[in-house]
Amino acid sequence: MYFQVQKQNVYFAVSRLYFLITLEMLMGGPMYFYQLVYLSILCIACCSLPERVLGEPPLNLQMESQNFQHILSWQAKSDPTVLTYYRVLYSDRRNWMAAKQCSNITQLSCNLTDDFEDTHAQYLALVQSFIGTEVFNSSVLDFEPLTDTFLGPPEVNISSCLNCINVTIKLPACHLRKNEKLCSLIDIYKELDYIITLKTLDEEHKVKNFLFYWCVRGEIQKA
Ligand SMILES: *[C@@H]1O[C@H](CO)[C@@H](O)[C@H](O)[C@H]1NC(C)=O
Ligand SMILES: *[C@@H]1O[C@H](CO)[C@@H](O)[C@H](O)[C@H]1NC(C)=O
Ligand SMILES: *[C@@H]1O[C@H](CO)[C@@H](O)[C@H](O)[C@H]1NC(C)=O
Ligand SMILES: *[C@@H]1O[C@H](CO)[C@@H](O)[C@H](O)[C@H]1NC(C)=O
Ligand SMILES: *[C@@H]1O[C@H](CO)[C@@H](O)[C@H](O)[C@H]1NC(C)=O
SS3 169: strand
Looking at ligand 5, which residue's alpha carbon is closest to its atom 2? 157
The string of pLDDT tens digits covering residues 8-42 is 333 333 333 333 333 344 444 454 545 544 544 44
Which of 88, 101, 103, 104 has most ligand 1 atoms within 8 Å of its beta carbon, as the pocket-test mutant? 104
Q: What CATH number labels 59-148?
A: 2.60.40.10
> How far apart are alpha carbons 129 and 86 in whole angstroms?
5
SS3 18: helix
Amino acid 115: pLDDT = 96
User: What are the structural domain ranges in the chain?
Assistant: 2-48, 59-148, 155-221
The string of pLDDT tens digits covering residues 105-122 is 999 999 999 999 999 999
Which of 175, 176, 181, 182 has most ligand 2 atoms within 8 Å of its beta carbon, as the pocket-test mutant? 175
The C-alpha R_g of the chain, in whole angstroms, comes to: 32
Q: Which ligand is nearest to the CA of 216?
A: 5
Q: Are 150 and 66 in contact (CB under 8 A)?
A: yes
The CB of 5 under 6 Å from ligand 4? The reply is: no
Q: Are 119 and 136 in contact (CB under 8 A)?
A: no
